[in-house]
């Protein structure tokens, strides 16, 4: 069976460099934080053009740290797209906040800025824009809405590290942007990991402390923080993969283009639509079809793996059942019934996949 993300092929290609980097850390005696992690943070800041990069233990932790740093309090309301991975809503809820679910745009699956106004009231404190499947939300509109209502804006770039909007890296377009280094994300480690990006020095200082038991210097705890650190081995792996990252992005985009050409000939399936301001990292290559089951069957017979991101709107998850007065988001509901994703990483052989598929069509 073809792997959905071919991490073994990636490791084989970079093996020599990776093993060198891994040995450097294992032989150094320094395994959490330290120079390797600092170097990674510097390189990520340079890559994205953002002033401060703070690494941490996961993308989910990064969201929680960001909410802490921005001062989320129990009862505060935060606007989140209804069609997303659960982390943003989960983190708001765990800190006592109330997720308010906005609908998505029907073409890009990103949060619909026009749906925000009815959700904003005196309890609203912020917006989390999820840059889903690798493309950036309409940050210039979200920023102006946030500004005029005194709200903060977080970008969730767990799927879109390296994506640009209007020529700028998505990590530079919010008060704080987070990303994830979960192994199957576009830039993945060999375990959990995450990072936060901000141009605001005060927020950066706070985030650094929060991720390290609230302390800047050892045993002097200014804030009530936690342990959320990246280990040096993951940093070394990420630094190695970062060197090849732009090349990989190009290959992902080429793969997506090959799929686009093939699937445009079928009337009952829609290829991904990329906003003209955006470049996409294609964290997922996501098709949509009213005949999804028909397509899933064919892929199944051709032994090509598919994924459904996501089968259920967040507002209809059992864990949020007690949130009263959630509105029905028809765009999110429709997407949940129609989307399915195909393997698209830099090491996916799209020609082989399409040749297998043709035999079953």
Ligand X SMILES: *Cc1c(COP(=O)(O)O)cnc(C)c1O
Strand partners, 164: 169
Which is nearer to ligand X, 124 or 180 (by Cβ)?
180
Which is nearer to ligand X, 180 or 348 (by Cβ)?
180
Which is nearer to ligand X, 63 or 287 (by Cβ)?
63
Q: Can you give the binding site for ligand X, defined by CB under 6 A?
A: 58-60, 84-85, 87, 130, 156, 158-159, 180, 182, 192, 194
Decide if 213 contacts 78 (C-beta within 8 A): no
Render 57-96 in DSSP notation, one character per residue.
S-HHHHHHHHHHHTT--TT-EEEEESSS-SHHHHHHHHTT
Rounded-to-integer distance, Cα 38 and Cα 9, Å: 28
Beta pairing class for 285-288 and 339-342? antiparallel
CB of 179 to ligand X, least distance (A): 8
CB of 262 to ligand X, least distance (A): 26
Paired tokens of 161 = 């590290």
Torsion angle (degrees, nearest 10) of CA 61, 66, 68, 72 = -120
Decide if 10 contacts 347 (C-beta within 8 A): yes
CB of 209 to ligand X, least distance (A): 21
Q: What is the CA radius of gyration of the chain?
A: 20
Strand partners, 111: 104
Phi, psi of 192 (to 5 degrees): -80, 155
Which is nearer to ligand X, 60 or 234 (by Cβ)?
60
Rounded-to-integer distance, Cα 349 and Cα 248, Å: 13
Which is nearer to ligand X, 192 or 269 (by Cβ)?
192
CB of 283 to ligand X, least distance (A): 7
CB of 99 to ligand X, least distance (A): 13
CB of 264 to ligand X, least distance (A): 27
Which is nearer to ligand X, 339 or 353 (by Cβ)?
339
Which is nearer to ligand X, 137 or 198 (by Cβ)?
137
Question: What are the Cα distances from residue 130, in Å, to 104, 208, 241?
Answer: 10, 23, 24
Decide if 260 contacts 271 (C-beta within 8 A): yes
Which is nearer to ligand X, 194 or 343 (by Cβ)?
194
CB of 5 to ligand X, least distance (A): 13
**Among all residues, whose Cβ is closest to ligand X?**
59
Paired tokens of 157 = 């770039």
Rounded-to-integer distance, Cα 96 and Cα 73, Å: 7
CB of 138 to ligand X, least distance (A): 17
Which is nearer to ligand X, 65 or 357 (by Cβ)?
65
CB of 331 to ligand X, least distance (A): 17
Paired tokens of 310 = 């996501």
Decide if 116 contacts 143 (C-beta within 8 A): no
């Amino acid at each position: 069976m073809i792997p959905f993300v071919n991490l073994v092929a990636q490791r084989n290609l970079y093996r020599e460099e990776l093993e060198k980097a891994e040995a450097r850390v294992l032989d150094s005696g320094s395994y959490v934080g330290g120079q390797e992690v600092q170097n990674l943070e510097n390189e990520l800041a340079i890559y994205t053009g953002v002033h401060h990069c703070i690494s941490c233990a996961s993308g989910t932790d990064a969201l929680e740290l960001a909410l802490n740093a921005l001062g989320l309090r129990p009862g505060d309301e935060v606007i989140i797209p209804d069609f997303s991975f659960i982390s943003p809503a989960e983190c708001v809820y765990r800190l006592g906040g109330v997720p308010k679910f906005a609908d998505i745009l029907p073409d890009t699956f990103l949060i619909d800025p026009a749906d925000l106004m009815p959700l904003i009231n005196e309890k609203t404190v912020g917006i989390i824009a999820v840059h889903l499947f690798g493309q950036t939300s309409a940050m210039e509109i979200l920023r102006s809405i946030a500004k005029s209502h005194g709200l903060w804006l977080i970008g969730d770039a767990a799927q879109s590290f390296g994506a640009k909007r209007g020529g700028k890296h998505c990590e530079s377009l919010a008060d704080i942007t987070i990303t994830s280094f979960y192994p199957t994300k576009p830039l993945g480690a060999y375990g959990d990991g995450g990072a936060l990006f901000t141009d605001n020095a005060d927020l950066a200082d706070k985030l650094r402390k929060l991720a390290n038991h609230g302390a800047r210097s050892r045993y002097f705890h200014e804030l009530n923080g936690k342990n959320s650190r990246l280990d040096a081995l993951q940093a070394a792996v990420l630094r190695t993969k970062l060197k090849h990252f732009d090349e990989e992005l190009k290959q992902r985009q080429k793969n997506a283009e090959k799929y686009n050409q093939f699937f445009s000939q079928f009337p009952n399936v829609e290829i991904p639509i990329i906003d003209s301001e955006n470049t996409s990292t294609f964290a997922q290559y996501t098709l949509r079809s009213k005949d999804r089951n028909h397509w899933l069957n064919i892929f199944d017979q051709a032994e090509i793996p598919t994924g459904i991101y996501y089968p259920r709107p967040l507002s209809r998850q059992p864990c949020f059942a007690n949130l009263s007065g959630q509105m029905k988001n028809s765009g999110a509901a429709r997407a949940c019934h129609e989307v399915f994703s195909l393997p698209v990483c830099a090491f996916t052989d799209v020609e082989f996949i399409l040749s297998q598929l043709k035999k079953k069509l």
